[in-house]
Amino acid sequence: MVRLADADDPRLRDYTRLTDVRLRVVKEPAEGLFMAESTQVIRRALRAGHRMRSLLVAPRWLPDMADVLEAAAAQGAPVMVAEEPLLQSITGFHLHRGALASMHRPALRPVAEVVAGARRVVVLEDVVDHTNIGAVFRSAAAMGVEAVLVTPRCADPLYRRSVRVSMGTVFQVPWTRVETWPGGVEELRQLGFVVAALALDERAENLDVLAADPPERLAWVLGTEGDGLRPGTVRAADRVVRIPMTGGVDSLNVAAAGAVAFWATRPPVAGP
């Protein structure tokens, strides 16, 4: 355990300038790390098999995290302790529950492996808002969606904010990045999925129709916040589905739309 007195300490390289989104997005995949913020999220990441590179923590949280400190020792990850004002000057933001871990980023797995055995999956096409990505993961975990695929231009599910909004479900629901899109639609079809584009398209069928008789394996595709799904994706899909709305509302937030669709087509569960 190292007690830090100086924000320029070279051991803090993983943690500096965290608020600069552009820098983090460039740096994290390249350097193979992601951040887990708060003891709870760190615990969830550890439970899912992720490994720590190091841990940064304020002294007053130490007594509550004996298990995390034990894991750090077992994994050979240094624990750096600093008072809260120093932590804030290092990271550039107020640290929620005083702990931040730099974690090794896992290698991405092939699509076929990630969706093996799944009855419901969702593809996020070019979604750039980390909050929306986290919210989709949370609904996916809660409503029986067993894998998440993100397109090459979609933002990073392991970005700090996505992790936090997902309540750690980004560690629970298997996910990967597809290499080509909308080319990947064909791969999903070959793997036995009916690919359903969730789109505000006049020719789309009502969600109730699909929900009344959902296919055995269903891949939902959700579009970006601004323009929605690409026309090529809508053309490539097997089904195009619309959630009917009232009140003069023209669209739902992408995460809200996903939650509605996942719930309506949830796979049967055993028990009450």
Ligand X SMILES: C[S@@+](CC[C@H](N)C(=O)[O-])C[C@H]1O[C@@H](n2cnc3c(N)ncnc32)[C@H](O)[C@@H]1O
Smallest separation (angstroms) from ligand X to the CB of 75: 39
- Name the residue with tokens 């730099």: 102
Query: What's CA 176's distance to the chain center, in Å?
Result: 10
Smallest separation (angstroms) from ligand X to the CB of 180: 20
Q: For residues 90 and 127, which CB has a smaller minimum distance to ligand X in the complex?
A: 127
**Measured distance CA(215)–CA(68) in Å, rounded:** 43
Q: For residues 45 and 261, which CB has a smaller minimum distance to ligand X in the complex?
A: 261
What does the binding site for ligand X look like in residue numbers (CB under 6 A)? 198-200, 222-223, 225, 227-229, 242-243, 245, 251-254, 257
Q: For residues 213 and 227, which CB has a smaller minimum distance to ligand X in the complex?
A: 227
Q: For residues 6 and 205, which CB has a smaller minimum distance to ligand X in the complex?
A: 205
Contact of 43 with 37, CB cutoff 8 Å? no
Nearest-Å Rg of the Cα atoms of the chain is 20
Smallest separation (angstroms) from ligand X to the CB of 165: 17
Smallest separation (angstroms) from ligand X to the CB of 218: 14
Residue number with the smallest Cβ distance to ligand X: 228
Smallest separation (angstroms) from ligand X to the CB of 21: 21
The alpha carbon torsion through 188, 194, 195, 196 (nearest 10 deg) reads -160
Pairing label, strands 120-124, 33-37: unpaired
What are residue 104's DSSP bridge partners?
A: 33
Of the candidates 260, 112, 264, the one whose C-alpha atom is nearest the C-alpha of residue 186 is: 112
Smallest separation (angstroms) from ligand X to the CB of 42: 32
How far apart, in Å, are the Cα atoms of 263 and each of 145, 180, 220?
A: 9, 28, 12
Of the candidates 167, 24, 201, the one whose C-alpha atom is nearest the C-alpha of residue 102 is: 24
Q: For residues 180 and 253, which CB has a smaller minimum distance to ligand X in the complex?
A: 253
Q: What is the DSSP string of 197-227?
A: EE---TTPEEHHHHHHS--SSEEEEE-BTTT
Smallest separation (angstroms) from ligand X to the CB of 123: 10
Q: For residues 65 and 243, which CB has a smaller minimum distance to ligand X in the complex?
A: 243
Q: Report helix, strand or coil for 150.
A: strand
Q: For residues 57 and 255, which CB has a smaller minimum distance to ligand X in the complex?
A: 255
